[in-house]
Structure 1
Amino acid sequence: MASKTPRRQTGRRSKWAAAALIGVGLLLTGGIYAGASAAMASTEPSAAESQLTVEDGKKLFQANCATCHGLNLEGTDDGPSLFGVGELSVEFQVATGRMPLQMQGPQAPQKSPQFTQEQIEAMAAWVQSEAPGPSYPDDRILDGEGDLTAGAELFRINCAMCHNVAAAGGALTEGKYAPALTGTSPLHIYAAMVTGPQNMPVFNDMTLTPEEKRDVISALMYLQESEDVGGFSLGSLGPVSEGLFIWIFGIGALIGISVWITAKSN
């Protein structure tokens, strides 16, 4: 009988094979878990998307504004009382970044807002519930469909002496200034007229009717969307910037040409 010899194995299992299999298994498990978690998170509303309540607005106000304006809107030595300012004033001041105030000065500058729009509206709603005042206008006031001619005339009579006839803004006294309105939203134009922020006078319905406010807003919206047909706007500062441009570049060019002609003739 032929003797049976055991068959020798041609390969040898590496000692790292088990570790590699465990690692692959862990990676697959982790990947599946991460994908499932991301899918579930995408279907749940985030904190920013959830509807904030008036109570949330109170907490935000007391945490960020009460130092100057008081826990109950009574005001302090560092900030005025907010009784009667209404939600529209809060929305304007906070949404334009003027509040919270960075430092005391002649005027609060506009900057990027520090809160989301939902947080701003929640704080405004709390202030309105505690100390009612001017509120949001009807959508019709902000639709831009008013009388442009009447609005432009009203703007020139009531606003151009500070904001410039082209709404480019201008300097006032003691470091104060009237901001440019070339990028201001219709809501904030209305809010400024109704609440009178900074050095702005209040235009109540006896001074400018709601329809006249609509006309002014429509004229400013048209001005924002229009292009300068004359070329360079030169800051829309009128004869001052135009005359300076002529003196520097116009007369300067004439002098340069005269010198060049004289040098060529010699």
Structure 2
Amino acid sequence: MVDHDVFPEQRLTLIQQILSNTGRVIGIDLAKKLNVSEHTIRRDLQELARRGLCKKVYGGAVSHIVESANFDVRASQNMQEKSVVAKRCADFIKANSCIFIDAGSTYLAMAGFIPKDLELTIVTNSPQIAAVLSSRTKSELILLGGKVNPLTGSTLGADTVNQLKGMLFDQTFIGVCGLDPQAGLSAVYYEDACFKKALIGQSNEIIAAVTAGKMPQVARYKVAACEDIDIAVVSKNTNIADFRLVNMRIVVAEE
């Protein structure tokens, strides 16, 4: 049996493996499992965070988000999982409403599931999503202007945020980089986080599409608490155990 108190590198490797498998670790649980002190575990998590292998949160840590460099790359990944979540999200769209669809590969898939005979006003900051919806004849489509960020696949910046100020949305389908029970919804890029915060302030109902790799996860910039999200639509492989005490409706998308 390995004495984890004597072999710190083996202990770090094991913690990293657990993080990779579960997405989140709790300090007190790790201390019991590895038969070391909570202080030792806190020090280990600090070291893993310093190496960029995890992000510390209250009571433990979550695995580090690895974001693809390009929106087109993300759109081609995990297509089946995203399709199932996207279809379930589309079921929540209400007729004769004004909705916002945030940029994201899952919402790009959702655009194809919106019934063509549904009368809507659809606003988006994603040129790709707008292109999919551009042929609809019973919906009003508004594409927010601004500088396109190739990493997020969306228009962002002060001009884009200013356009939001004159709009109120019945429903917003918000993009998720990470979702954690303590840290809430977070974003990888600063401008994207600022935009999402403004968007939430203009919306009556917030719906979040969450694939398995984003929950539980924490990105660099906090956007909102879990309680600010009305519905999280998640894939069946998503770890939702840590969210059981959070005041947020979780809907598991089934094929």
| TM-score, scaled relative to structure 2 | 0.21
Instruction: Decide which structure has greater helix share.
Output: 1
Instruction: Decide which structure has greater strand share.
Output: 2
Of structures 1 and 2, the larger Rg is shown by: 1
| TM-score, scaled relative to structure 1 | 0.20
